Amino acid sequence: MAAILDHHVALQQAYSEFVRQYPAYLDTVKLDALRASEFSRLDEQGHVYLDYTGGGLYADRQLTDHMKLLQRGVFGNPHSSNPTSMAATELDESARRFVLEYFNASPDEYVIIFTQNASGALKLIGESYPFAPGDRYVLTFDNHNSVNGMREFARARGASVHYIPVLPPDLCADEAVLQQLLDETLPGQKTLFAFPAQSNFSGVQHPLEWIGLAQAQGWDVLLDAAAFAPTNPLDLSIWKPDFVDLSFYKIFGYPTGIGCLIAHKDKLARLHRPWFAGGTITIASVQGDGYYLAEGERGFEDGTINYLNIPAVEIGLRFIQSVGIDAIHTRVMALAGWLIDQLMGMNHTTGKPLVRLYGPANTDQRGGTVTINLFDPDGKVFDFRDVESAANDRNISLRTGCFCNPGAGEVANNLSAEDMRACFQQEERMSFEEFLLVMDGRSPGAVRASLGIASNFSDVYQFVEFARSFLDRAAE
C-alpha cells in the first residue's frame, strides 16, 4: 500500500514538472477523457502500450459504429448493379472520397488505391514502375524493408540502386549525397526517389521539401507515410509526392488488412502492371488472348476489395478528425520530449550513461518514436531480447529488434558493409542464430517505445522507471 502511495506521489510530482516544461500538453487534456471513455481497456488491464508504430489502437466507438453499419445493411460484392452490390459500392466509394479529403488531396490530382497494407501499396509501385536499363532507384538507408525490397524489381529490370546514408548520432540523411544523386540524371532516364516521412527506426522526420526539390530535377517521388501519418498532419495540397503508401491500422487500429496507395493520376497512368486479375480489366479474352486494363484505381485493385471493412476506414478517419491530428501531434511530441530528456539524463553511479538514443535528442526533425539501447556501467549493451522480456513482466508493450529497418539499425550499431556482407556469403539460407554468431555478439537491434493517440504521462513515466531499473546493473 505504501509503495503504491509512493508511486502515486512520485508520478504526480513528475507530472507537475513535466507540464511546467511542456505546457502545450495541457491543451490536449481532452485526450485523457478520451482514453477513459474509448480506450478504457488499457487501464482496466494495466497495460502500458508503447508500440503505436507497430500498430495503432482503436477506439471502442469505431467498433460499435462499424458493427451497427453492418447490422443495418445488406451488402453484396461491389461493382454490380444489384441493390446490395450498389450499397457496398456506395460505402466503399464514400470511404475512397473521404481518404482524399482527410489528406487534403484533390480528386483531380490523386486517386486512392486500396491495398492490403502499406507493403501492398509499395509492391504495386515496385512491380509496375517502368524501370529499364540505365534507370535509377534512389532511397535512404532508413527505409522499411518493404521499400528496400522494391530494389529487387528495379535491379531485375536493369536499373541501378543507390542508397543515401544516414549519419550517426541523429540518423538524419547525408544531404550532400542526396543532392549529388539527384543531380546525376541523364535525359530520358526514369528516376524514382523513395524516403520515409518518418523513420520507423529512429523517428527522424526527413524534410518534406525534398519532394519538390527532387521533382524539380525530374524525379518521381515515393513518400512512405506509414509511420508518419498516425501522429502528424499530411497535407497533399502542400506536399505533392507522386506516390504515398500507408496502412490504416497504424493510424486508428481497426480494421487491420487495409492500406492504400495514394497516387498522382499522371504518374499512375505511366505504371505498367505485370498481370491482370478479376476486377482490374474492362475486357479480357481467352480465345482472343488479350485484355484491356481498367483506368485509374480499378486497374490496381486485384480481385474483390475488402468491401465490408473499407467503410470502417472512413469511420476510423472521421474519429481521428474529430479528435484532431494536431492535438494528437502536440501531445505525442510533449511526451516524447520529456521521455528523451529523462532517458538522456540517466547515468550509472560511475558517471557512464545508461542510454544511447538513436535519432535526434530533441523534438526537432523527429516524431514520437524513441529508439534506444541500454548499456551497463562497463559500456556493455543489454541484449534487447532481455530488455523486452523484463518489460513484458511489467505489462509494458515495447518493440525490439531492427523493426524491418536494417539500414538504420546497421548505422546505429556501427556495423559496416563488410560486416553485413559476411552474412550473405553462404548459399544456404542463414538462420537468425547463425546470423548472431557471425555478428559475434553485435546486432543491428534496439529497443523502441512509440507513442500515439491514447498515450498519457503515466505511460512514459512507467517506461522511464523501467529504464531506471537497469542502472548499476551488469549486462550478462
Ligand X SMILES: Cc1ncc(COP(=O)(O)O)c(C=O)c1O
- Catalytic residue annotation: 404
Q: Which is nearer to ligand X, 88 or 112 (CB)?
A: 112
Question: What CA–CA distance (Å, rounded) separates 234 from 225?
Answer: 8
Residue list 46-105, contact with ligand X (CB under 6 A): 53
Provide, rounded to whole angstroms, the least separation between the CB of residue 118 and ligand X.
Answer: 4
In sign, the C-alpha dihedral spanning 148, 153, 155, 158 is: negative
Cell digits for 74? 445488406
- How many residues at the interface with ligand X, by CB under 6 A? 13
If one asks whether residue 359 binds ligand X (CB under 6 A), the answer comes out as no
Identify the CA nearest to 315 among candidates 106, 99, 100.
99
Residue list 392-451, contact with ligand X (CB under 6 A): none
Cell digits for 396? 509494458
Answer whether 409's CB lies under 8 Å from 402's CB: yes
Which position among 95, 154, 159, 226 is part of the footprint of ligand X (CB under 6 A)?
226
Provide, rounded to whole angstroms, the least separation between the CB of residue 227 and ligand X.
Answer: 4
If one asks whether residue 144 binds ligand X (CB under 6 A), the answer comes out as yes
Which position among 118, 320, 340, 372 is part of the footprint of ligand X (CB under 6 A)?
118
**Residue 170 phi/psi, 5° resolution?**
-85, -10
28-57 footprint of ligand X as x/- string (CB under 6 A): -------------------------x----
Q: Which is nearer to ligand X, 91 or 261 (CB)?
A: 261
Which position among 28, 62, 89, 146 is part of the footprint of ligand X (CB under 6 A)?
146
260-299 footprint of ligand X as x/- string (CB under 6 A): ----------------------------------------
If one asks whether residue 316 binds ligand X (CB under 6 A), the answer comes out as no
Per CB under 6 A, the segment of 9-17, 113-121, 325-333, 468-476 that binds ligand X is 113-121
Q: How many CA atoms lie within 13 A of 270 on its CB side?
A: 13
Which position among 117, 140, 231, 413 is part of the footprint of ligand X (CB under 6 A)?
117
Q: How far is CA 12 from CA 18, 461, 469, in A?
A: 10, 10, 20
Q: Which is nearer to ligand X, 28 or 143 (CB)?
A: 143
If one asks whether residue 223 binds ligand X (CB under 6 A), the answer comes out as no
Per CB under 6 A, the segment of 76-84, 221-229, 262-270, 408-416 that binds ligand X is 221-229
- Convert the chain into a string of H (helix), E (strand) and C (coil): CHHHHHHHHHHHHHHHHHHHHCHHHHHHCHHHHHHHHHCHHHHHCCCEECECCCCCCCCHHHHHHHHHHHHHCCCCCCCCCCHHHHHHHHHHHHHHHHHHHHCCCCCCCEEEEEECCHHHHHHHHHHHCCCCCCCEEEEECCCCHHHHCHHHHHHHCCCEEEEECEECCCCEECHHHHHHHHHCCCCCCCEEEEEECCCCCCCECCCCHHHHHHHHCCCEEEEECCCCCCCCCCCCCCCCCCEEEEEHHHHHCCCCCCEEEEEEHHHHCCCCCCCCCCCCEEEEECCCCEEEECCHHHHHCCCCCCCCCHHHHHHHHHHHHHHCHHHHHHHHHHHHHHHHHHHHCCECCCCCECEEEECCCCCCCECCEEEEEEECCCCCECCHHHHHHHHHHCCEECEEECCCCHHHHHHHCCCCHHHHHHHHCCCCCCCHHHHHHHCCCCCCCEEEEECCCCCCHHHHHHHHHHHHCCCCCCCC
Which position among 227, 229, 408, 451 is part of the footprint of ligand X (CB under 6 A)?
227
Per CB under 6 A, the segment of 33-41, 131-139, 219-227, 437-445 that binds ligand X is 219-227
If one asks whether residue 196 binds ligand X (CB under 6 A), the answer comes out as yes
Provide, rounded to whole angstroms, the least separation between the CB of residue 7 and ligand X.
Answer: 33
Q: Which is nearer to ligand X, 89 or 200 (CB)?
A: 200
Provide, rounded to whole angstroms, the least separation between the CB of residue 60 and ligand X.
Answer: 23
Question: What CA–CA distance (Å, rounded) separates 20 from 269?
Answer: 53
Which position among 231, 247, 280, 462 is part of the footprint of ligand X (CB under 6 A)?
247
Per CB under 6 A, the segment of 7-15, 78-86, 220-228, 345-353 that binds ligand X is 220-228
If one asks whether residue 224 binds ligand X (CB under 6 A), the answer comes out as yes
Provide, rounded to whole angstroms, the least separation between the CB of residue 328 and ligand X.
Answer: 17
Provide, rounded to whole angstroms, the least separation between the CB of residue 255 and ligand X.
Answer: 12
Provide, rounded to whole angstroms, the least separation between the CB of residue 1 and ligand X.
Answer: 42
If one asks whether residue 119 binds ligand X (CB under 6 A), the answer comes out as yes
Provide, rounded to whole angstroms, the least separation between the CB of residue 149 and ligand X.
Answer: 10
Q: Which is nearer to ligand X, 200 or 373 (CB)?
A: 200
Per CB under 6 A, the segment of 12-20, 86-94, 117-125, 431-439 that binds ligand X is 117-125
Binding site for ligand X (CB under 6 A): 53, 117-119, 144, 146, 196, 200, 224, 226-227, 247, 259
